[in-house]
Amino acid sequence: MQNMATVEEIMLTDVLRLPAKTSVSEAAKEMVKDEHRYVLVVEDSNAVGIVTSTDILYKVVAKGKVGKETTIKDIMSTPLITATPDTTLHEASEIMTRNKIKKLPVANKGELLGIVTATELVEKNKEYVDVLVNLSVAGLKKVRMGE
C-alpha cells in the first residue's frame, strides 16, 4: 500500500520569489544571501517559471553571457509544473520523474504555497531514492544536450 502522505506535509515554505525582470546577477546575489539553490520567477504575482543555480551556471556563465544584462525570465524553465497541497508523495514522485524535474512548486488556485524538492521526498521516505537517482541522471543528460 502506498504512503498517503501529501506534499503539504513536507513542502518548504521559505521560497525565494523574484520578478521576471530581475537580472541574473541580482538573482544570484539573493540566492546566495538566502542560501537558496533556486528562485521562482513571478510576473503579476503569478509564478511563471523557475531558475536554478545549475541554470545560471550552464545558461549564463558557461555561454559567456553577462549576468547583469540577462534577466531570469531569459533563462527560466517554463511552463511551471506544479502540485496541489493534497498531491500525495507518490504522485509527486511520478510528476517529477515524468517531467525530469527536481523541484515541484505547490500551489492552490494559483497561489504559490511552497515547494517540494527531490531531497525532501527522499528524506521523508527512502522508497523515493530511485526518483532522486533517476532525476540526477536525467539532469546530467539534459545539461550535456544544452537544454
The Cα 147–Cα 141 span in angstroms is: 9
- Domains along the chain with CATH numbers: 7-144 (3.10.580.10)
pLDDT band at 119 (very low <50, low <70, confident <90, very high): confident
Instruction: Collapse the DSSP code of 90 into the 3-class scheme (helix H, G, I; strand E, B; otherwise coil) and give the result.
Output: helix
Mean pLDDT, the chain, whole residue set: 86
The DSSP string of 15-42 is --EEETT-BHHHHHHHHHHTT-SEEEEE
The Cα 124–Cα 110 span in angstroms is: 26
Structural contact between residues 93 and 131, judged by C-beta atoms closer than 8 angstroms: yes
What letter would DSSP give residue 102?
S
Q: Looking at the chain, which runs of residues are DSSP E strands?
A: 17-19, 38-43, 46-52, 103-108, 111-117
CA within 13 Å, CB half, 142: 16
Question: What pLDDT shows up at residue 138?
Answer: 52
First to last CA, the chain: 37
Question: What pLDDT shows up at residue 144?
Answer: 45
124 vs 4, higher pLDDT: 4
Question: What pLDDT shows up at residue 73?
Answer: 96
For 58-72, what is the mean pLDDT?
93
Bridge partner residues of 107 (DSSP): 112
Question: What pLDDT shows up at residue 118?
Answer: 87
pLDDT band at 38 (very low <50, low <70, confident <90, very high): very high
